Amino acid sequence: MTLNLRLTTDSDVREFSAWRYDPPYDVYNIAMSLDDAVSYFLDPTIHCHTLVDGREVVGYCTFGEDARVPGGDYDGDGLDIGLGVKPIRTGSGEGHRYVSMVVEHAAATFRPLQLRVTIAVGNTRALRVWSHAGFAEISRFVTPRVLMGSSEFAILALESPATLDT
């Protein structure tokens, strides 16, 4: 299928807000009301985009402050990325396609000096996918928020993404 990234619509938010992940990934379930989720993800400052494979919504991503975890050091000129993948698609080996599309879009649209992702240390699948995409760990921190059985998070970065072929 053909993978595309588009601006998120009201119906996209309604769809991905209903996704439910099995433990321990259930920490990624969207916990706000549907109306709040629509309002939040359609806010232009969130920069939410939807990943579509053919006609199927397979993920969504945000760029900027939304992708940060409280307690992390986000100094510098990095652009933070958040990515959610449809539960039935997680662990399917397709993560590299999704990450590549999101990275290419971020590099072409925002032209940052650095791209960053913050991942719970317990989420080994996500750490592996982002590392294979060229991201390297630049810091770790502990926060009261527990995800994936850990309160430790890693910030990974990709330097000079604006030079990628887009």
Q: What is the CATH number of the domain that holds 49?
A: 3.40.630.30
The model's pLDDT over 90-129, given as tens digits with 9 standing for 90+, comes to 989 999 999 999 999 999 999 999 999 999 888 899 999 9
Q: Note the pTM of the prediction, 2 decimals.
A: 0.92
Determine if the peptide bond prior to 87 is cis (ω within 30°): no
Number of structural domains found in the chain? 1
Domain that holds residue 88: 3-163
- A 10 A CB-CB count for 40 gives 17
The per-residue pLDDT for range 35-56, each reduced to its tens digit, is 999 999 999 999 999 999 999 9
pLDDT band at 164 (very low <50, low <70, confident <90, very high): low
Could you tell me the pLDDT band of residue 76, with boundaries at 50, 70 and 90? confident
Helix/strand/coil for 166: coil
Contact residues for 26 (Cβ-Cβ < 8 A; gap 6+): 20
